[in-house]
Amino acid sequence: MVPLIGIEEEYLIVDPRTRHVTPRAADVLAAATDLLDVAHEITRFQVEARTAPSADLTELGTQLRAARKEVAGAARSCGLAVVASGIPVLGKVTPPPLTEDARYEQGRVLYRALQDEISICALHVHVDVPDEEHAVYVGNHLRPWLPTLIALAANSPFFVGRDTGYASWRVISWGRWPVSGAPPYFPTFADYELALRALAASGALMDPKTVFWDTRPSPKLPTVEVRVADVPLDVCDSLTIIGLVRGLVVTALADVARGDRGLPVPAEVLRAAYWRAARDGLAGDSLDVRHGALVPAPVMVGRLLDHVRRAVAEAGDLPFVEEGLRRLLRKGSGAARQRRVHARGHNLAEVVDDLIEATVA
Q: pLDDT tens digits for 96-153?
A: 878 777 777 777 777 887 778 889 999 999 999 999 999 999 999 999 999 999 999 9
Residue type at 64 in one-letter notation? L
Three-state SS annotation for the chain: CCCCEEEEEEEEEECCCCCCECCCHHHHHHHCCCCCCEEECCECCEEEEECCCECCHHHHHHHHHHHHHHHHHHHHHCCCEEECCCCCCCCCCCCCCECCCHHHHHHHHHHHHHHHHCCCCEEEEEEECCCHHHHHHHHHHHHHHHHHHHHHHCCECEECCEECCCCEHHHHHHCCCCCEECCCCCCCHHHHHHHHHHHHHHCCCCCHHHCEECEEECCCCCEEEEEEEECCCCHHHHHHHHHHHHHHHHHHHHHHHCCCCCCCCCHHHHHHHHHHHHHHCCCCEEEECCCCEEEEHHHHHHHHHHHHHHHHHHCCCHHHHHHHHHHHHHHCCHHHHHHHHHHHHCCHHHHHHHHHHHHCC
Contact, 135 vs 129, CB < 8 A?
yes
In this structure, the dihedral spanned by the alpha carbons of residues 275, 281, 285 and 291, taken in order and rounded to 10 degrees, is 60
User: How high is the pLDDT of residue 111?
Assistant: 81
What domains can be seen in the chain, in order of their start residue? 5-359 (3.30.590.20)
User: How high is the pLDDT of residue 35?
Assistant: 57
Residue 46, φ and ψ in degrees, nearest 5: -125, 150
**Which CA distances in Å does 22 have to 97, 110, 125?**
10, 25, 27
Give the pLDDT of the chain (361 residues) as one tens digit per residue: 899 999 999 999 999 999 999 999 999 999 987 656 877 777 889 999 999 999 999 999 999 999 999 999 999 999 999 999 999 999 998 888 787 777 777 777 778 877 788 899 999 999 999 999 999 999 999 999 999 999 999 999 999 999 999 999 999 999 988 889 999 999 999 999 999 999 999 998 888 888 999 999 988 889 999 999 999 999 999 999 999 999 999 999 999 999 999 999 999 999 999 999 999 999 999 999 999 999 999 999 999 999 999 999 999 999 999 999 999 999 999 999 999 999 999 999 999 999 999 999 8
Residues 212, 131: Cα–Cα separation, whole Å: 19
User: How high is the pLDDT of residue 105?
Assistant: 78
